[in-house]
Amino acid sequence: MEGGVSSWCQILIQYLSNYDFHLVAVVGNQNVELMYDLLPNIKKLYMVPLWGIEEPFGYSSATSYLEAQEKKKRTTSQMISEFFIPLFIDFLEGIENENVNIYSYAVLFDRMNQYFEKFDYSITMFSREVWETFKEMIYQKYIRYNLIFVNDELPTILDLITCMRWLFHLLMTLNLPIPKTDLVHSSVAAFSSIPGIISKLRYDTPILLTEHGVYYRERYFAVSSSSIPYFSKKFLLNLNSLVSRLSYEMADQISPVCYYNSKWEERLGADVSKIKVIYNGIDPSIFSPSPKPESTRKRPTVVIVGKVLPIKDIVSAIKTAFLVKEAMPNVQFLLYGSTNADPSYYIKCKEVLASLHLEDCFYFRGLKMTNPYEIYNEADISFLSSVSEGHPYVVIESMACERPVVATDVGGVSEVIEGCGMIVQPGDVSAMSQAIIELLRDDDLRIELGIRGRQKVIRDFNINKSMEEYKLSYQKLIKYGKIINNGLSDTLAMMKKGIRYSSK
């Protein structure tokens, strides 16, 4: 589970050693390996692989194989039709309705979770009853009573199959047990928030929501630029929008990691009075400057840290390297990060690299699991070419090592490196290369910006400052959460008593 959010989570749990944690890890597939040993205050780890499985036993409320088999036996067509289909209908009715009472979905998810405590998830979601209901509701809206959708906007049978499979995987967190805790801390306004939303409804648990990137914005970017057919694209974005809006509404405190994120959250419906920015922080005693090692000392060196993904725009980084090499033939670019996150994109990057004949200049070094500070100290500067970010750790880690950063003006990056680095526009390889060349050639400027960067990290992005703000937030929400939420609790209590939760 590589990435900045994993590092943040590990640091948070370690710092808040007086708190016990039930950790829900929503991961891509069941074959991921833990990056860290489980800390003593992690009392339970729930691993939820969204993809690559058809049978979620082991990721559910069933505590034994025997109990799982009993759930399967009782999951008959009659039970599905009587207890799940009414919930599924209400779920589908509100997905594309921006005016739906968003709180109704908290009640709906709670009831779906209660259903899956008794009945089998896979049998239900793959049942003929669910499939026929899904087809009929889509048919009514888009074909029978259609007034606005035409031609390629109409769903095909492949669209329906695709969307139904998305629902199976993305709603997997509804199959989890919901522990009773004093606080829920969600790291993203997405499907991983669903257990916390249910906990709030069921136990009146306060919710702290941290967003490292704005989930819906990033999903919109990824989905809208993909080759997914119109209907499937629209369905997926509406589903993501619904879950994000519900996450914002149910949260008691929303803590983006930069002010840039907060502006997007406001646009997406978050109550500004709930927002409290908490910057990411690192330990400057660990990430500290040292001279370049012998292996890179004789070559101008640029380091890139991040997964090889389209959102990181590694293709532009490679094209930038080509322009830099024309001016500085001895330069080298070292990229540290997983190449497995998007294999097809990695292949594309390798093809671009080969076409520009940069095999002796641009190197994919893979993951470095130990002593990550050494990465930055291998280089003269670091480079971030992303088209979307929140408040990336790689920027403040590099600054702490007195390595100035050339970065794209995305997310909260400019908030971080203003006055101690260089900002360029995403995709502008000419501007990227010019900035890199200037820093590599001007030793005085590079050293001055490096010193300023470390000073700024010590002042504003120190791990102790960041973690203390989370600790104070925990204390406040646990102490006052139920008082703050009396009005909301009353509203939800009324809905639980029987108010219909569809958009009608």
pLDDT tens column, 168-179: 999 999 999 999
pLDDT for 473: 96
| Tokens representing residue 438 in the block | 């200037």
pLDDT at 60 over 60: no
pLDDT at 150 over 80: no
Mean pLDDT computed over 371-383 = 93
- Total Cβ atoms within 10 A of residue 85: 16
How far apart CA 107 and CA 322 sit, in angstroms, is 55
Position 504 confidence tier, pLDDT thresholds 50, 70, 90: very low
The residue written with tokens 């001279």 in the block is: 291
Q: Torsions phi, psi of 405, nearest 5? A: -115, 135
How far apart CA 136 and CA 73 sit, in angstroms, is 27
Residue spans of the domains in the chain: they are: 76-280+479-496, 294-460
The set of residues, in sequence order, having a beta carbon less than 8 Å from that of 149 and lying 6+ positions away, is 142
- Total Cβ atoms within 10 A of residue 259: 13
pLDDT at 323 over 90: yes
- Closest residue by Cα to residue 61 from 169, 165, 179: 179
Sequence length of the chain is: 504
Q: Is the overall model pTM greater than 0.85, yes or no?
A: no
- Closest residue by Cα to residue 209 from 180, 189, 194, 239: 189
Core vs surface per residue 309-343: b (16+ CB within 10 A) or e: bbbbbbbbbbbbbbbbbeebeebbbbbbbbbebbe
**Is the distance from CB of 473 to CB of 186 less than 8 angstroms?**
no
Average pLDDT, the chain: 89
What sign does the dihedral 48-21-1-208 (CA atoms) show?
Answer: positive
What sign does the dihedral 411-415-417-423 (CA atoms) show?
Answer: positive
pLDDT for 499: 45
Q: Which helix (H) or strand (E) holds 46?
A: strand 42-49
Q: Which tens digit of pLDDT belongs to each residue from 232-272?
A: 999 999 999 999 999 999 999 999 999 999 999 999 889 99
**Is the distance from CB of 258 to CB of 276 less than 8 angstroms?**
no
Q: Which CATH class is domain 294-460?
A: alpha beta
pLDDT at 283 over 90: yes
How far apart CA 275 and CA 317 sit, in angstroms, is 34
pLDDT at 126 over 60: yes
Q: Best-predicted range by mean pLDDT among 65-79, 223-237, 317-331, 484-498?
A: 317-331
Specify the DSSP class assigned to residue 151. Answer: G
**Is the distance from CB of 95 to CB of 161 less than 8 angstroms?**
no
